[in-house]
Chains A and B, each alone.
Chain A
Amino acid sequence: MTGTALVELKNLEKEFAGTKALKGVSLSFLAGEVHGLLGENGAGKSTLIKILTGVYSPSAGEIFLEGTPVRVSNPPEAHRLGLGAVYQDAELVSSFTVGQNILLGNEPGWLRISDRAIHEEATAILAEMGIELDASRNAGTLSAAEMQLVTLATLFHRRYKLIVLDEPTARLSAAESEVLFRIIERFKKQGIAIVYISHRLKEVQEICDRATILRGGLVSGTLNRGEVTEDRVTELMVDRNRAELSTYNDGSRVRLDVLLEATNLATTNLSPLSFTIRAGEVLGITGPVGGGMEDVARALGGVVRHTGTVNLRGKAIDVSTPIAARRSGVALIPEDRRKQALFPALSVAENICLPVLNRLERFFTVRPGAMKEYADDVMDQLAVRPRNAAIQVRFFSGGNQQKVVIGKWMSAGASLYIIAEPTNGVDVGAIKEIYDIILQLAQQGAAVLLVSSSLREMLALADRVMVIHDGNRVAEAPKTNWTYDELLAVTLSGKSKTAA
């Protein structure tokens, strides 16, 4: 470690529609260090990274690169400055070879392209990084882990100065993660700064030289290697001042009858898992992003290939495809609203009525006015604003869009509601309303499976909380047995202290 500040952030602030996501963050990344970045959901991690990579512009504050102030106005500008990020779904040209991808935009020679020269150079780069991959292999045949390695090789070749890794091990096996860590070591030797975002404490302890914990848009502390302990991190992460949400599930909605029984549910990312949910019960599943919790939701919703049996009210149901799952009474409210749940160019009424169109039909045509009537009714129940069913959904705020997604399924009469990350990108004001709606679903006697990385959400809404880490259930207990700190500790470490 050389100790020079490569990138220095001074009093960075970012305001979104009156809410401050960052309230003056000052932080420095040194050349050749791996700098861990930790924090709860909403602590400002992703905002900070997006400012650093040019996706957002800061409302106030300055960024210094090697001592000179810079403006990172857009992602290509960030790339030009040598600030890069590797996200989970790495972007590669799938019809090109590994070598062609690594050298894309920097091919040797002027006009002529020689595949041999490209592959020679790419092979040298891969060897220098210690990655054993055939440069002439087609990028379309790579696994997720290998794609990340190729993306890293690309950044390495372009001599990036700072590389952000956002939950890089989320889709990697333990052996693959080890490969990644070795490569990070090599990056350090080249004097590249690595910003390492992770919810897995063990990784942070293992590879980070320093770790900064963000809390409520502020730096709450920077720890050196060796000081990163579960207790210290938990203490710095938990925001004692944050107002508790006024919505709380007191457990009164749970009925006696078991509604859903999943036996040995398994996918490629999830070891066989069995669990039950009673009528009116909210089962919360949490854990690190990519650790397997998402697959529970996807498997039950029929969107990912899985094994195991699922019983609803004692009868086996088919959830092999999304169509079968819906027929069986399963409603999936997916995590990515824009891509997976909404029809942005359709009106609110058209979105809400989609699952119940057959009920609004007479002689194969939708009754005039029935759609508006129905949508108005749902919008009143969920307090969607502005209350105008004719407006296209894309003009609504994140919170109101989420209400529309839930509203879409509400009266479809599902027995099981699977709700993934319901408050992702939702404005603070709407969070409570969405929580109330979720509890209302349980009140009506449905089983609710809540999959979320927000621990506050777990403790506010769930009756029972399960933690899934690396595809395995590491803990499960009634909510009342958990404190926030314990739950955070288990989520971070993947080890259960309170195996209840």
Chain B
Amino acid sequence: MTQAEQKSLTQVKTMQKSMAKTQPAGRTESVAMRFLRRWGTIIVLVLAAVGFSIASPYFATASNLNNILFSMIVSALVSLGLTWVVISGSFDLSIGLTVTTSSILVAFLIPTLGPWAAIAVALVAACMIGAVNGILVTYGRLSGIVVTLGVMFVLSGINIFITGGYQVPVGYDETAFLYLGQGKLGIIGVPVLILLAVFLVALIAATRTRIGHYIAAVGDNPMAAFYSGINVYRWVILAFVLSALMSGIAGVIVTSISSSAQPVGGEGYLLEAFAAVFLGATVLGKGKPHLLGTLVGVFFLYMVDSGMNMVGFPFAARHIFQGLVLIIAVGANALLNREEVHLKFI
């Protein structure tokens, strides 16, 4: 490097320093604010847990933790799936019905195909539902809400059509299949382990691979991703496929847990999943959905449910409380991330 170049470089550096001084980029926020934004949701979760432990001697026990984990499996899988789609910038309303469809397919096919092929078919079918959603949203230029709402109705019709409205039982001799939902390793249920395994694989895909990286880029600024030579449509479709795949896994587990498939009732998972994803977005102050946050969000909802149940609150009170927690958490997060002008109401 010549002397002149070096001189110009130091010049540039001093200028950049003066730039930094005159224009403090980013928010200037106090340490307390930053701490609250990062840990606020976790603090509330811990406080709630402490409160329930004081109110009920049965709350802070290993068997209750096991119960909470066991009850949240299906919801957690569905919520983790939805997280992908919300990160990619869309919505998926068909997840609840995908659970039901996969559940029915497995129960229906076990007698003819055997358990493992039945599971494979159910999961492939789930992925195809996701692919249809994704293709219609991208190449079809349709809105995610509308497409998945439509697919949701179609699936509910197909489910009733296949089953005739009756539950589909699984034979008690299918012990290998039933082990997936009802087996135990030590005191921990096998489905809890399946959930943890799925979560870990998804977490690695989201944080350590191109998959998570590009889905996040596409969801944040699709135009920038497009100009960076990223195949935007491919990643959006993949997000829908991953979402449907996780709902499909949830459906298989539902069938195994209850030794039967119910033709209705999957819709409930959808609303819980949305609550968990947006509650999860506030975890660790990310301000946008992420898988760990979603898992914490689901745990929060089920823990509160269990705690209020033990303390003796009526069922209705639990819903009111969960709704308020969601609004307050997301609202507090929005307050801490103040935008200049807020003109987006979705």
Contact = CB atoms under 8 A, between A and B. Distances in A.
Given A76-B229, A132-B12, A107 B213 contact: yes
Interface stretch (A63-71, A89-97, A212-220): A89-97
B217 A142 contact: no
B210 A107 contact: yes
Interface stretch (B19-27, B171-179, B265-273): B19-27
Given A76-B229, A101-B224, A132-B12, 11 more contacts: A93-B217, A93-B221, A96-B216, A110-B210, A130-B9, A131-B16, A145-B19, A154-B228, A176-B15, A176-B19, A185-B8
A100 B12 contact: no
B288 interface: yes
State which size class the interface on B falls in: 20 to 34
A93 to B, nearest CB: 5
B221 A111 contact: no
Contacts of A91: 221, 223-224, 227
Nearest to A92: B224
B229 A105 contact: yes
Contact of B229 (A80, A100, A101, A146): A80
6 contacts: A111-B209, A130-B9, A132-B12, A141-B27, A175-B22, A179-B16
Interface of A: 75-76, 79-80, 91-96, 100-101, 104-107, 110-114, 130-133, 138, 140-143, 145-146, 154, 173, 175-176, 178-179, 182, 185
B288 A95 contact: yes
Interface in B199-239: 208-213, 216-217, 220-221, 223-230
Interface of B: 8-9, 11-13, 15-19, 22-23, 25-27, 208-213, 216-217, 220-221, 223-230, 288
B22 A104 contact: no
B101 to A, nearest CB: 30
Contacts of B229: 76, 79-80, 105-106
A123 B275 CA distance: 39
A42 to B, nearest CB: 27
Contacts of A114: 208
A95 B216 contact: yes
B15 A94 contact: no
A79 B8 contact: no
B220 A132 contact: no
B19 A175 contact: yes
Nearest to A182: B12
Contacts of B18: 175
A178 to B, nearest CB: 5
Contacts of A111: 209-211
- For the complex of A and B, list the 10 residue pairs with the smallest distance between their C-beta atoms, beginning with the closest: A141-B26, A105-B228, A91-B224, A104-B228, A105-B229, A175-B15, A93-B221, A143-B25, A132-B16, A93-B220
A58 B159 CA distance: 54
B315 to A, nearest CB: 39
A178 B208 CA distance: 38
Given A91-B223, A94-B221, A95-B220, A182 B8 contact: yes
A104 B12 contact: no
Given A111-B210, A145-B19, A175-B15, A96 B217 contact: yes
Given A95-B216, A104-B225, A107-B213, A179 B230 contact: no
B288 A132 contact: no
Given A138-B26, A141-B25, A76 B19 contact: no
Nearest to B26: A141
Contact of A113 (B16, B19, B209): B209
A145 B22 CA distance: 12
A176 B213 CA distance: 31
B48 to A, nearest CB: 29
A93 B224 contact: yes
A104 B223 contact: no
A92 B225 CA distance: 8
Contacts of A130: 9, 12
B13 A96 contact: no
Contacts of B230: 104-105
Nearest to B212: A113
Contacts of A105: 225, 228-230
A135 to B, nearest CB: 14
Contact of B12 (A93, A143, A178): A178
A213 to B, nearest CB: 29
B84 to A, nearest CB: 16
A92 B221 contact: yes
B209 A112 contact: yes
Contacts of A176: 15, 19
Contacts of B223: 91
B213 A113 contact: yes
Contacts of B9: 130, 182
A100 B217 CA distance: 9
Nearest to B230: A105
Nearest to B223: A91
A129 to B, nearest CB: 10
A291 B218 CA distance: 33
Contacts of A79: 227, 229
B26 A113 contact: no
Contacts of A101: 224
Nearest to B287: A95
A104 B13 contact: no
A244 to B, nearest CB: 41
Given A111-B209, A132-B13, A179 B225 contact: no
B26 A178 contact: no
Contacts of B16: 131-133, 179
Nearest to A129: B12
Contact of A178 (B15, B210, B221): B15
Nearest to A140: B26
Contacts of A145: 19, 23
A176 B26 CA distance: 17
Contacts of B26: 138, 140-142
